[in-house]
Structure 1
Amino acid sequence: MSEDCKSDSSTSESEVSACSSSYNPLKALYSDKVKIPVESAPLYENIAQFEAAQSKSNEIIPLGHAKLVQKREEEKEKKRIEEERLLEEKNKRRFAQYQTVMVPPKEYRAKNLLTRIEVMEGPLGVLKECVDKRLRVKIITRSHSGVRGVLHATLVAFDKHWNMALSDVLEVWQKKRVKQRKIPPVMGKPVPKGTAATISTIPTVTETPLGKGIFECQRHVPQMMMRGEHIVLINVVER
């Protein structure tokens, strides 16, 4: 501590003055007698920044001028926005002559069963009317060898293949009495009676004898999906 005081006392003002010819930077660094010639002089981080500030006075901002930095960034942002606007206007003028030639893109519309029903015509248009007005229809179905039976139902939906979704279905068909039903060996044991009913409700079938071993069967099904390949004829019952 005493050595620092001695060295500071032995230092003259000419040695710590930046304008003197006998300026000693080492003593000026550790002396308390140093006086800055220009107190408002700008401060830079290093010599390279100072040299750059001498050649580009507008781009290099000294320390302690945050407002100038903020102002410069705002000016850069405004300049960028203005350049983008001018570029957009230039592109509009450039491609204006091609706007009439360009084909507008087609609007994509999802295609499904409901959208196809809206444009049905002919016989399928009649079915569309039945769907809209909830009309009852009579459907004659077939088996592998002939006519199987008749369905009285309300049409809910259909497609171009005549596949139909029906509700409130009354099914009527005829069958012969089966004396003894043979089960093929590959089918295994028959399902015990009443097992299927515990899984889902089975419609009750009412059998009416017609004579000669033929019975007329009826059952009511809340909902049914009918494939188009099993349909022979469709009549509109209600109008």
Structure 2
Amino acid sequence: MAAPMDENPGNSKGKRYDEELDIMSPNFKPIKALYSEDEIDLPSKDVTQFNNIAEYESFMKRKDRGNPGNVSKPTDTEVPKKKSSSGHTKTKEMTSFQDENLRRRRERMNRNVLTRMETLEKGPLSLLRRCVQEKLLVKVWTRGAVELRGMCKGYIVAFDKHFNLAMIDVDELFRCPLTRDINIKKAAKV
């Protein structure tokens, strides 16, 4: 009678069985599994692989934020993943992960200058918002570090929190800065 063969519960590829690398084993050692060069077989084939702990944490935060009650929704268009000849499905998993991120970004409301302008109801920026909505003629004085450079009259179309203005139908009055020579001549005449 032949000797009983060593069963490989987590590995059917003919590799030698190491109980410390088997996830379902009570003798499983995670540190050894992390630094092992052998591929670890997982009990479920549709597991998302992460490159590091930070990637996992950000995934879990997004999952908690998106699903009240921490309930994950099954997808209707799930396609069973086939392993490539080397046994890795990282590229397929990463592309599906990226597709899911793109879909979530599209669902969120896009925030831009125009949408932020609409939310300003208090403070000095609310005056600019009123000028945009009522199409009021506005005078804007431009200045340098020391002197006034000029003045613009026009209608505000858009603005941001740094008081950058986009204007239309603008009439600009520009003052050329006085040179030092002219100031010296004026002082000498007096």
Query: Whose radius of gyration is greater, 1 or 2?
Result: 1
User: Comparing both structures, which one devotes a greater share of its residues to strand?
Assistant: 1
Normalised TM-score (structure 1): 0.30
Normalised by the length of structure 2, the TM-score is: 0.36
